[in-house]
Amino acid sequence: MIALLNSHTIRNKFLLILMLIAILSASVTAGVLIYFESIDAEKYQQDKLVLMSSIISPSLTAAIAFNDIETINELIVPTVKSDGVFATFVYNNNDVLITKVYQDNLAGNQLKEEDKVETPLIISGENQGKLVFYADRTVIDNKMSFYKKLVAQLLIGTLFISLILSIILSRLITGPLSQLIRIAKTINKNNDYSIRAPYHSEDEVGDLTRCFNSMLDTVENRENVLESTVIDRTQALEEANKQLHHQAFEDPLSGLPNRRSFYALLNDVVNKKKEFCLLFIDLDGFKEINDSLGHDYGDILLQQVSKRIVSCVRTDDFVARLGGDEFTVILNGLTNEEKIGQIINQMLSSLESVFHIKSEKVFTSASVGVTLFPRDGSNVDTLIKNADQAMYESKRKGKNRSHYFNEEMSRQLLNKQEKITDLHNALKNEEFIIYYQPIVNLQTNEVDKAEALVRWQHPTKGLILPDDFLKTIEEESLMDELGYWVANQVLSDRLKWHQHSPRNIEISINISPSQFKSKDSLLLQWLSDFDKVSLPQNAIAFEITEHSLVHDHFKVRELLNDIRGKGIDIAIDDFGVGYSSLSYLQQLNLDILKIDHSFIDKLSNDKSSYGLCKGIVTIAKELNLLIVAEGVETRTQHKLITELGCHYGQGYLYGKPMPSEVFTHQYINQHLTD
Ligand code: C2E
Ligand code: CA
Ligand code: CA
């Protein structure tokens, strides 16, 4: 019962209340019924005993008067034979018991004072005694127990009927409500807002159903709007995602997979451990095309090159553009050199043929590096490095060709890496030294100039010449640092000499084009340090090559003027090789021109060299430049350059480059003692 009361469903509570009402009303009705029935039974018993006593009392009174015991007994025996009397006692007027009769099966304790009914026996106003009946209540009790059973059955029946009725009632009232709840739960669970509750009746529940359904209409509409918005947004997101993916993995210019995509795929094929061939392709002379025709032509060329490369490989091969004019190809499952050769040859000849860009005919070619997996490298990094090496080998061998990676290249690469590490250490440990080579005044035979030339005192390999390490220094972007060290060293030597000797000797420092490249160059730092020292004019000269001037790095011309303003001479080095544009000589404020030793070399037996030198000397004089002839090794060469009118000579004939101490001893201290 308590469980029903605590139940969470209205239906159960409703059922319980209905049943309680039914039981209560049935119980009250049954109680009233039993009460009146018991009163009725008692009265009937009473009336019956009164009637019996009134029938027998006249005869009984007479019999007592005559003390006729036999008649008395005859009269009272029938009383105990009928229902309703346990025993009958007759007393005389002195309350002395005359006689008594019992029911046969009477037990002593059944005679109770409250069941006693007394009738006085009177004749002609004179009391003769009394008749006493002990009423038998079994009849009443039987009747009452019959009624109790009846009432109990009635109660059970009522309970049953009330149960059925309450179920029917609750079905009628709470049924639709429960259905609404079930539907709400289903909607909630499945998020299906198209479900509607069935409409049953025009009552409050019907109203509730109607409201519920109209609420669902609103929710469904909103849901639909929301859903379509979500679909739109999702589509937009997917689209953006796709574009991002394209941007991340596709080269926008060529439409080919980009570097990232290439690395991902290469990783993939390496992990699968299936053999393949990796090609590195680099266009020959692309930079020149770009510089001369412009970037828009360059871009179109790259697009056409991409198409040609793709057309030369098989459909399941992979072509990517790494950037610039670099492409890679993965030839899946192919390590047969003959077949690879066919593909590469087709590619090379395809790229060799003319490209029509706008109205121009453009020619290019490609250098290809070839590596095989797993033969030439078992991991991505090694493969790429080796393919790149092989491609550089093709370039070195004359371009427009392919080259397979081999162990010799690997060894060279290793050496180079070792050299790079050594060079970094050399800068840290100050393993460089300066040699000075005297430059002789051809008129006075005096050494009043010298060139500072760097050397590398390697801890194990001995003295190394600049041609063996300057290229790597440049490639590793260490030139600015090394140049700064050289210039500082020269400045310190030059200051030392200045303190010892009043003689002015001009020391020239070679400046690499890369030292002009940036505004943060250490060269500029050195120049401002130079301002703080006091040296005579023309104590220092800078030797620059034409390369410094071709690419107008960081306003070289203005910088050169500033440098000259500080009393530093500018010499144009290696004149005659390279661009040899005479217009530079006119445009720039230079002081010295150094004729490259390749001309001096051939001076004695090559007429055209002689003629060229003569021309250079004439122009240089015209421009008021001092002329230094480099690489003078013989007396003949000395004679010829003097005849030509060169002002200075530099070469083994006069003196090889020498350590600072030797130079100091021979040309500075010597001079002091002269
Ligand atoms: P360079 O500026 O043309 O220097 C002259 C080179 O010719 C020096 O080579 C020198 O030893 C060599 N030489 C001098 N006289 C003769 C001769 O009679 N016969 C022959 N065959 N050679 C002669 P070195 O010292 O090996 O320097 C090579 C190049 O390295 C230099 O050529 C210069 O371009 C560069 N270099 C040297 N030191 C430096 C430096 O401190 N900074 C920069 N940026 N470059 C430097
Ligand atoms: Ca030089
Ligand atoms: Ca030179």
* More confident site: 87 or 168: 87
Say how many residues make up the chain. 674
pLDDT band at 599 (very low <50, low <70, confident <90, very high): very high
Please indicate, yes or no, if residue 635 is contained in any of the structural domains: yes
DSSP 515: G
Q: Which of 510, 528, 511, 504 is nearest to 657 (CA)?
A: 510
Last residue of a domain, one of 405, 431, 459: 405
For the segment 432-461, what is each residue's pLDDT rounded down to a tens digit? Answer: 999 999 999 999 999 999 999 999 999 999
Q: Are residues 431 and 386 in the same domain?
A: no
Q: What is the pLDDT of residue 362?
A: 95
Q: Are residues 62 and 154 in the same domain?
A: yes
Which 3-state string (H, E, C) describes 482-495? HHHHHHHHHHHHHH
Q: How far is CA 211 from CA 170, 185, 203, in A?
A: 22, 17, 12
Largest CA distance in the chain: 209
Q: What is the pLDDT of residue 672?
A: 57
Nearest CA to ligand 1 atom 7: 631
Residue 282: is it exposed, middle or buried by C-beta count within 10 angstroms (0-12/13-18/19+)?
buried
Q: Are residues 548 and 618 in the same domain?
A: yes
Q: Are residues 479 and 425 in the same domain?
A: yes
Phi, psi of 652 (to 5 degrees): -60, -25
Consecutive H or E run containing 61: helix 10-65
Q: Which of 126-130, 177-181, 430-434 has the largest mean confidence?
A: 430-434
pLDDT of residue 6 exceeding 80: no
> Would you say the CB of residue 306 lies under 6 angstroms from ligand 1?
no
pLDDT of residue 553 exceeding 50: no
* More confident site: 110 or 59: 59
For the segment 311-362, what is each residue's pLDDT rounded down to a tens digit? Answer: 999 999 999 999 999 999 999 999 999 999 999 999 999 999 999 999 999 9
Q: Are residues 376 and 425 in the same domain?
A: no
Nearest CA to ligand 1 atom 37: 453
Q: Are residues 569 and 651 in the same domain?
A: yes
Please indicate, yes or no, if residue 86 is contained in any of the structural domains: no
pLDDT of residue 5 exceeding 60: no
Residue with structure tokens 């995602």?
241
Q: Which of 245-259, 584-598, 627-641 has the largest mean confidence?
A: 627-641
Nearest CA to ligand 1 atom 46: 510
Q: What is the pLDDT of residue 52?
A: 85
pLDDT of residue 671 exceeding 70: no
Last residue of a domain, one of 203, 220, 237: 220
DSSP 577: B
Please indicate, yes or no, if residue 97 is contained in any of the structural domains: no
Range of the domain at 311: 259-405
> Would you say the CB of residue 512 lies under 6 angstroms from ligand 1?
yes
- CATH at residue 477: 3.20.20.450
Please indicate, yes or no, if residue 54 is contained in any of the structural domains: yes
Rounded-to-10 torsion of CA 11, 16, 17, 23: 150
Q: Which of 109-113, 221-225, 282-286, 449-453 has the lowest mean pLDDT?
A: 109-113
pLDDT of residue 197 exceeding 60: yes
Cβ–Cβ under 8 Å, residues 479 and 424: no
Q: Which of 138-142, 290-294, 442-446, 636-640 has the lowest mean pLDDT?
A: 138-142
pLDDT of residue 295 exceeding 90: yes
> Would you say the CB of residue 453 lies under 6 angstroms from ligand 1?
yes
> Would you say the CB of residue 508 lies under 6 angstroms from ligand 1?
no
Please indicate, yes or no, if residue 339 is contained in any of the structural domains: yes
Q: What is the pLDDT of residue 368?
A: 98
pLDDT band at 511 (very low <50, low <70, confident <90, very high): very high
CA atoms of 426 and 640, how far apart (whole Å) = 42
Q: Are residues 449 and 598 in the same domain?
A: yes
Q: Are residues 427 and 320 in the same domain?
A: no
> Would you say the CB of residue 454 lies under 6 angstroms from ligand 1?
yes
For the segment 27-45, what is each residue's pLDDT rounded down to a tens digit? Answer: 888 788 888 888 888 888 8
pLDDT of residue 4 exceeding 60: no
Q: Are residues 438 and 340 in the same domain?
A: no
Rounded mean pLDDT of 424-428? 97
CA 421 to ligand 1 center in whole angstroms = 24
Please indicate, yes or no, if residue 131 is contained in any of the structural domains: no
CA 630 to ligand 3 center in whole angstroms = 6
> Would you say the CB of residue 657 lies under 6 angstroms from ligand 1?
yes
pLDDT of residue 162 exceeding 50: yes
Q: What is the pLDDT of residue 46?
A: 82
Q: Are residues 185 and 295 in the same domain?
A: no
Q: Are residues 400 and 424 in the same domain?
A: no
Total domain count, the chain:
3
Say if strands 506-510 and 540-544 run parallel, antiparallel, or are unpaired: parallel
CA 452 to ligand 2 center in whole angstroms = 8
CA 270 to ligand 1 center in whole angstroms = 47
pLDDT of residue 248 exceeding 50: yes
- CATH at residue 349: 3.30.70.270
Q: What is the pLDDT of residue 659?
A: 98
Please indicate, yes or no, if residue 85 is contained in any of the structural domains: no
CA 597 to ligand 3 center in whole angstroms = 7
Rounded mean pLDDT of 609-626? 93
Chain mean pLDDT for the chain: 89
pLDDT band at 377 (very low <50, low <70, confident <90, very high): very high
pLDDT of residue 61 exceeding 60: yes
CA atoms of 654 and 650, how far apart (whole Å) = 7
Q: What is the pLDDT of residue 551?
A: 59
DSSP 250: B
Please indicate, yes or no, if residue 115 is contained in any of the structural domains: no
Q: Are residues 198 and 290 in the same domain?
A: no
